[in-house]
Amino acid sequence: MKKRTLIFTSAAIVIVLLAVPFAMAQHRRAHGHGAMMMFGLQRAKAALGLSDQQASDIKQIFTDLRAQNQPYRASLRGGRQAIAQVLLANPNDIAAAQALIDKQTEAERQMKINALNAFSKALNVLTPDQRTKAASFLQQRMAKHADK
């Protein structure tokens, strides 16, 4: 049982390690900071010893993820406004507001599933040694943040 737990923990650690630079870069790029994504990717490339092809593949995976999730992000923004409008029009129409929340929840779920699939693809680009390095970096980072 401990081995299984260790495997799942290691996989989660690698996912988080890879996710952080790309998630932050994705957020920053939306605000006009596209160069930050390249910085995060270059840092990951140096730390993990990624080849140019691996870096390119990973960049494409997360570019595709961003495009795939764009309609859901727009839906979430519009959904919050729609909920407010429904309640402003009729404060007692909780059922309509809840239906809109359900739509938002499904959009969020789909975005998370898309991200999970992208992270899985990105991990498959790495060699076993690179995955081990990524897990080690993440464990160090988690220990560092646990002290705070």
Neighbour-count burial of 35, counting CB atoms closer than 10 A to its CB (0-12 exposed, 13-18 middle, 19+ buried): exposed
User: Model confidence over 59-107: pLDDT tens digits?
Assistant: 999 999 999 999 999 888 888 889 989 999 999 999 999 999 999 999 9
Whether residue 20 is predicted with pLDDT greater than 60 in this model: the reply is no
Both tokens of residue 18?
């890879």
For 101-131, b/e burial (b = at least 16 CB within 10 A) is: eebbeebeeebeebbeebbebbbebbeeebb
- pLDDT class of 15 with cuts at 50, 70, 90: low
- Supply the pLDDT for residue 104: 92
- pTM beyond cutoff 0.95: no
The total number of structural domains in the chain stands at: 1
DSSP string, 20-39: HHHHHHHHHHHTT-HHHHHH
Neighbour-count burial of 147, counting CB atoms closer than 10 A to its CB (0-12 exposed, 13-18 middle, 19+ buried): exposed
- Supply the pLDDT for residue 69: 95
Backbone angles phi, psi at 92, to 5 degrees: -95, 0
The span from the CA of 89 to the CA of 77, in Å, is 19
AA identity, residue 56: S
Both tokens of residue 143?
């220990």
In this prediction, what percent of the chain has a pLDDT beyond 90? Answer: 48
What is the residue range of 124's domain?
2-146
Q: What is the residue-averaged pLDDT of the chain? A: 80
Whether residue 13 is predicted with pLDDT greater than 70 in this model: the reply is no
